[in-house]
C-alpha cells in the first residue's frame, strides 16, 4: 500500500459516459495497482471475467522492473499474463508487428475478455491500443506509460494506430482504455533528451488552456528538471486533467475543440517529416519549434505581441528544447503542412494563440504568409 496519504495515487477521471475511466498518478506504490485495476475491469463487459492478459513492451523497457510489476499485480487478481517484447522505436509501430501480436493472442486462446497492457512509451501505447481495438472487435486495454510524453499525452484520450511506410498514424481508431496507471518514478530511468521531449507537451497545455499552469512551470523549472517527485506528479496530473477535460467534450474530434491540442503540431509534424523520422528532431523537439513558429505567425496576424513569443521561447530554452528550424528547406515544410488532416477546403489550418491559456483553430494565414514565415524561420543554419 502507499506509504502515507500523501503517497496515495492522485486520481484523474476521464468522463466519457459508459467509457469513463480513471488515471492514477503515483510515485511508486505499485501495491495499490490491484485495488485500482479490479473495479476498472469490472466496470466494463470486456473486463469482467478477465483471466488472461498480454503485456506488450519494448526491448528497452523490458530491462526495467515495470512489466514485472504489472505481471505481479495481475497475478494477484488471478489473471495469467504473457509478455511480448518488440524492438524499440517507430519501426515497430506497423501492421507487420500488429499481425505478429494477433498471432500471439490466437496462440494463447485469447478471447474478448483478454486484457492488453501497454507498458512503455508512445509507440507501445499506440501499437498496443491498436491491437486491443482490432482483435476480436475490441479487447480491454490498460495503459502503463513510462515516458513523460506518453504520460501527459498519448496514453490519454483513446487515439490508437499504426504507421504505413510513407504515412504516420494513418491506420487507427479511437479505443479508450479501461484505466491508465502512471508511475512518475519511471521518469528517473529516462534519458535527459526524452524528459525534455515530454516537457514540450507539458508547456503546450499551459499555452492552450491554463495560463496559471504556465506561470507555475516558469517558477518550478529547476525542480522539474531535477526530477523532484512532487513536481513531476503535479505537472503530470495537471496535464492529464487538462487533456481529460478536452477529450470528454470532443472525444472523436467532431466539434473542433480537441484541435486545440494540436498547437505546435502542424509545423512540428512538418519539421519531423522534413528532417526525417528518428533524425535531428524527436517529436517533442519538433513540437517545441512548432510552437515558437506558430506563435510568431500569431504575432504577424496581430493576435499576440512579441512578448508572448519571447516568454514561450525563454521557457522552452530553460527546458533545453530547440526553438529554431534554421537550415531546413521551407518548400518541403509547406508541402507537408498542406497534407495536415486539420486542413479544410484546400486551406491550411493552424492552432494559434490569442493570449496565454487560449488558442483558436484558424485558416486566417494565407499561403504567402506561411511561405514568408518559413523563409524567415529557416534561413541559413548558424555557423
Catalytic residue among 113, 204, 283, 349: 283
Candidates 43, 204, 238, 243; catalytic one = 243
pLDDT-derived band at 343, boundaries 50, 70, 90: confident
pLDDT band at 16 (very low <50, low <70, confident <90, very high): very high
Q: Which of 118, 124, 144 is nearest to 53 (CA)?
A: 118
**pTM higher than 0.75 for the full model?**
yes
Q: H/E element holding 173?
A: strand 167-174
Q: pLDDT higher for 57 or 273?
A: 57
pLDDT > 70 fraction of the chain, expressed in percent and rounded: 96
Active-site residue, 88 included: no
Q: Is 264 annotated as a binding residue?
A: no
Among the listed residues 175, 258, 296, 349, the single catalytic one is 258
CA distance 244 to 322: 28
Residue 4 pLDDT: 46
Q: Is 283 a catalytic residue?
A: yes
What is the arithmetic mean of pLDDT over 258-266? 94
- Residue 82 φ then ψ, to 5°: -115, 150
- Could you tell me what percent of the chain has a pLDDT over 90? 82
Q: Does residue 262 have an active-site annotation?
A: yes
| Spatial distance between the Cα atoms of 100 and 104, rounded to a whole number of angstroms | 6
Q: Is 245 annotated as a binding residue?
A: no
- Residues 200-221: tens digit of each pLDDT: 999 999 999 999 999 999 999 9
The DSSP H or E segment spanning 179 is strand 179-183
Contact 23, 180 (CB under 8 A): yes
CATH 3.30.450.20 fits 5-188, yes or no: no
Active site annotation includes 272: no
Q: Does the active-site annotation cover 341?
A: no
Active site residue 265: yes
The whole-number average pLDDT for the span 142-161 is: 96
Tell me, what's the pLDDT at 336? 87
Question: What are the beta bridge partners of residue 21?
Answer: 14
3-class SS letters over 292-346: HHHHHHHHHCCCCCHHHHHHHHHHHHHCCCCCCCCCCCHHHHHHHHCCCCCCECC
H/E element holding 199? helix 192-209
60 is in an annotated binding site: no
Flag whether pLDDT at 64 surpasses 60.
yes
Q: Is 108 exposed, middle or buried (0-12, 13-18, 19+ CB in 10 A)?
A: middle
Phi-psi bin for 346: left (phi > 0), alpha (psi -120 to 50), beta? left
Q: Is 73 exposed, middle or buried (0-12, 13-18, 19+ CB in 10 A)?
A: buried
Q: Alpha-carbon dihedral of residues 276, 282, 287, 293, nearest 10 degrees?
A: -50
Q: 325 or 175, which is more confident?
A: 175
Q: Does the annotation count 335 as an active-site position?
A: no
Looking at the chain, the domain(s) classified CATH 1.20.1090.10 span 192-378
Give CA–CA dist 41/52, Å, rounded.
Answer: 12
Please say if the pLDDT value at position 383 is more than 50: no
Cell representation of residue 329: 528547406
- The active-site residue, picked from 253, 300, 318, 372, is 253
C-beta separation of 334 from 370 below 8 A: yes
Q: What is the pLDDT of residue 379?
A: 75
**How far, in whole angstroms, is CA 178 from its chain's centroid?**
17
Residue 362 marked as a ligand binder: no
- Assess whether 159 carries a catalytic annotation: yes
Residue 201 is labelled as binding a ligand: yes
CB crowding 169-206: b at 16 or more within 10 Å, else e: bebbebbbbbbbbbbbbbbeebeeebbbbbbbbbbbbb
Residue-wise pLDDT for 101-130, tens only, equals: 999 999 999 999 999 999 999 999 999 999
Any binding-site annotation on 325?
A: no
**323 grid coordinates:** 526553438
What confidence category does residue 198 fall into, taking pLDDT thresholds of 50, 70 and 90?
A: very high
Query: Residue 256 annotated as binding?
Result: no
- 342 is an annotated ligand-binding site residue: no
User: What is the C-alpha to C-alpha distance for residues 299 and 288, in angstroms, rounded to an integer?
Assistant: 17
Residue intervals of the chain classified under CATH 3.40.50.1970 are: 5-188
User: Catalytic: which of 113, 196, 265, 296?
Assistant: 265
Q: Which of 43, 93, 113, 159 is catalytic?
A: 159
The residue count of the chain comes to 383
CATH topology (fold) of 192-378: Dehydroquinate synthase-like, alpha domain (1.20.1090)
113: annotated active-site residue: no
Closest CA to 214 of 222, 204, 224: 204
Amino acid at each position: 500500500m502507499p506509504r502515507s496519504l500523501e503517497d496515495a495515487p492522485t486520481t484523474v477521471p476521464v468522463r466519457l459516459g459508459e467509457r469513463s475511466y480513471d488515471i492514477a498518478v503515483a510515485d511508486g506504490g505499485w501495491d495499490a495497482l490491484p485495488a485500482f485495476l479490479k473495479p476498472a475491469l469490472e466496470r466494463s463487459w470486456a473486463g469482467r471475467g478477465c483471466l488472461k492478459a498480454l503485456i506488450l513492451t519494448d526491448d528497452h523497457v523490458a530491462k526495467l522492473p515495470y512489466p514485472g510489476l504489472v505481471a505481479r499485480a495481475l497475478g494477484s487478481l488471478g489473471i495469467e499474463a504473457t509478455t511480448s517484447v518488440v524492438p524499440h522505436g517507430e519501426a515497430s509501430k506497423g501492421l507487420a508487428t500488429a499481425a505478429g501480436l494477433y498471432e500471439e493472442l490466437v496462440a494463447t486462446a485469447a478471447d474478448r475478455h483478454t486484457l492488453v497492457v501497454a507498458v512503455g512509451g508512445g509507440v507501445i501505447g499506440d501499437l498496443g491500443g491498436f491491437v486491443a481495438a482490432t482483435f476480436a472487435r475490441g479487447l480491454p486495454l490498460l495503459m502503463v506509460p513510462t515516458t513523460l510524453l506518453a504520460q501527459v499525452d498519448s496514453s490519454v484520450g483513446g487515439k490508437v494506430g499504426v504507421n504505413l511506410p510513407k504515412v504516420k498514424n494513418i491506420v487507427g481508431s479511437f479505443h479508450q482504455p479501461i484505466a491508465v496507471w502512471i508511475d512518475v518514478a519511471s521518469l528517473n530511468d529516462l534519458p535527459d533528451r526524452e524528459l525534455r521531449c515530454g516537457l514540450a507537451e507539458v508547456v503546450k497545455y499551459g499555452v492552450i488552456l491554463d495560463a496559471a499552469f504556465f506561470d507555475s512551470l516558469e517558477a518550478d523549472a529547476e525542480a522539474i528538471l531535477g526530477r523532484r517527485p512532487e513536481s513531476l506528479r503535479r505537472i503530470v496530473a495537471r496535464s492529464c486533467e487538462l487533456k481529460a477535460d478536452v477529450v470528454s467534450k470532443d472525444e472523436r474530434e467532431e466539434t473542433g475543440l480537441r484541435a486545440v491540442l494540436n498547437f505546435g503540431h502542424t509545423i512540428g509534424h512538418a519539421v519531423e517529416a522534413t528532417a526525417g523520422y528518428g533524425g535531428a528532431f524527436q517529436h517533442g523537439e519538433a513540437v517545441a519549434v512548432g510552437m515558437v513558429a506558430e506563435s510568431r505567425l500569431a504575432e504577424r496576424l496581430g493576435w499576440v505581441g512579441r512578448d508572448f513569443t519571447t516568454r514561450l521561447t525563454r521557457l522552452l530554452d530553460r527546458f533545453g528544447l530547440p526553438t529554431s528550424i534554421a537550415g531546413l528547406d521551407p518548400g518541403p515544410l509547406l508541402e507537408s503542412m498542406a497534407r495536415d488532416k486539420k486542413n479544410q477546403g484546400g486551406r491550411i489550418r493552424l492552432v494559434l494563440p490569442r493570449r496565454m491559456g487560449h488558442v483558436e483553430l484558424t485558416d486566417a494565414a494565407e499561403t504567402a504568409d506561411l511561405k514568408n514565415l518559413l523563409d524567415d524561420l529557416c534561413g541559413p543554419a548558424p555557423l
